[in-house]
Amino acid sequence: MSPTLCYPGIAAYTTQPDSKTPLYTLPAIYDPTTKTGLTESFAIAKYLDEKYPDKPMLVPKGTEVLRKAHINVPRARMEPIWQFTLPKTDWNLNEESEAYFRRTREEIEGQMMEGMYLKGEKRKEEWKKLEEGLKQVDNTGCKFV
């Protein structure tokens, strides 16, 4: 994804866990009028509101803090879920996709996929963190179906 997004000059949303490698996300837009590229839904919505004020507002005035909290609180609370889902993702991919997925995730995480799968007491501890995070997210009004 990064070569595609780099081409029109779209900036990375953040960095990988190594704090160096750019992390590109979707959705992404490139505005040829201003020659601006962005990723991340909320940043795109804010940009469109600022650059095109004559169009319907995407982020109503006075709600930015609430919207940021709505995005960031669940994201932070859900972080432990990746420890349970990421190592098993490649089980559902075709051969070519699995090879790419394994290679890129192992580079990012600095370990083999098999080493990412939690076991024993560590698994129990991290599962408790995830459960607590889900309870906190549920208390923010974000419901999981």
HSE-up (13 A, CA, CB side) for residue 2 = 10
Report whether 16 contacts 23 (CB < 8 A): yes
- CB count within 10 Å of CB 5 equals 21
Q: For the structural domain made of 1-61, what CATH number should be given?
A: 3.40.30.10
pLDDT for residue 144: 46
Share above pLDDT 90 across residues of the chain, in percent, rounded to a whole number: 12
Contacts of 41 (CB under 8 A, 6+ apart): 27
The stretches of the chain forming alpha helices (DSSP H) are 2-6, 41-51, 64-78, 82-89, 95-109, 113-116, 120-139
- Which of the four CATH numbers 3.40.50.2300, 1.10.1370.30, 3.40.50.300, 1.20.1050.10 does domain 62-139 have? 1.20.1050.10
All structural domains of the chain with their residue ranges: 1-61, 62-139
Q: Express each pLDDT in 60-118 by its tens digit.
A: 887 777 666 666 656 666 677 778 888 888 788 889 988 998 888 888 888 888 888 88
Phi, psi of 125 (to 5 degrees): -60, -45
